[in-house]
């Protein structure tokens, strides 16, 4: 199991980024796929037509999102924490993803950089 941490600069306010990551209609705008999402702790979520599924653990509007992501044969909980900080370029999104399966690590890093935060940055740069 591996961990991944990275900062992304997104050209939008922390509140706008928070809504983009937690509102299913907005998620569909920047991903192009259906999403199920709620800001209710304990609720389950699904993104990219079920390619990413898990449970929402904690929300601090405009500041923080904590989720557990599910994987087949998962040994330990894989936790995603996204903290949003104001930045002169908009928002600095601090990502920490723990307990990524070794076999899928490179795919996850690519997904975070291109499909997830890359798509969100492209959406705002539009």
pLDDT tens-digit map of 61-109? 999 999 999 977 777 899 999 999 999 999 999 999 999 988 889 999 9
pLDDT value at position 50?
A: 86
pTM of the predicted model, to two decimals? Answer: 0.94
Residue 35 belongs to domain with CATH number: 3.30.530.20
Q: Which domain holds residue 104?
A: 2-125
pLDDT value at position 43?
A: 97
Q: How many angstroms separate the CA atoms of 87 and 121, rounded?
A: 14
The model's confidence at residue 126, banded by pLDDT at 50, 70 and 90, is confident
The model's confidence at residue 3, banded by pLDDT at 50, 70 and 90, is very high
Grouping H, G, I as helix, E, B as strand and the rest as coil, residue 7 is strand
Mean pLDDT for all residues in the chain: 94
The dihedral over CA atoms of 87, 89, 94, 100, expressed in degrees to the nearest 10, equals 180
Number of domains present in the structure of the chain = 1
What the block records as the tokens of 75 is: 């040994």
pLDDT tens sequence across 28-74: 999 999 999 999 999 999 998 888 899 999 999 999 999 999 977 77
Report strand pairing: 64-69 vs 2-10: unpaired
pLDDT value at position 97?
A: 97
Strand ranges of the sheet holding 52-60, from the earlier edge strand across to the other edge: 2-10, 90-100, 78-87, 64-69, 52-60, 44-47
Q: Is residue 24 a contact partner of residue 35, using CB atoms and an 8 Å limit?
A: yes
C-alpha distance from residue 122 to each of 2, 20, 59 (Å): 28, 13, 24
The model's confidence at residue 6, banded by pLDDT at 50, 70 and 90, is very high
């Amino acid at each position: 199991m591996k961990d991944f941490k990275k900062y992304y600069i997104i050209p939008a306010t922390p509140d706008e980024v928070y809504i983009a990551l937690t509102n299913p209609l907005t998620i569909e705008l920047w991903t192009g796929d259906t999403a199920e999402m709620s800001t209710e702790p304990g609720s389950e979520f699904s993104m990219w037509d079920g390619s990413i599924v898990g449970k929402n653990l904690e929300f601090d509007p405009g500041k923080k999102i904590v989720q557990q992501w599910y994987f087949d044969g998962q040994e330990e909980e894989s936790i995603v924490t996204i903290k949003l900080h104001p930045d002169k370029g908009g928002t600095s999104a601090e990502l920490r993803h723990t307990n990524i399966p070794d076999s899928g690590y490179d795919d996850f890093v690519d997904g975070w950089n291109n499909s997830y935060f890359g798509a969100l940055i492209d959406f705002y740069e539009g």
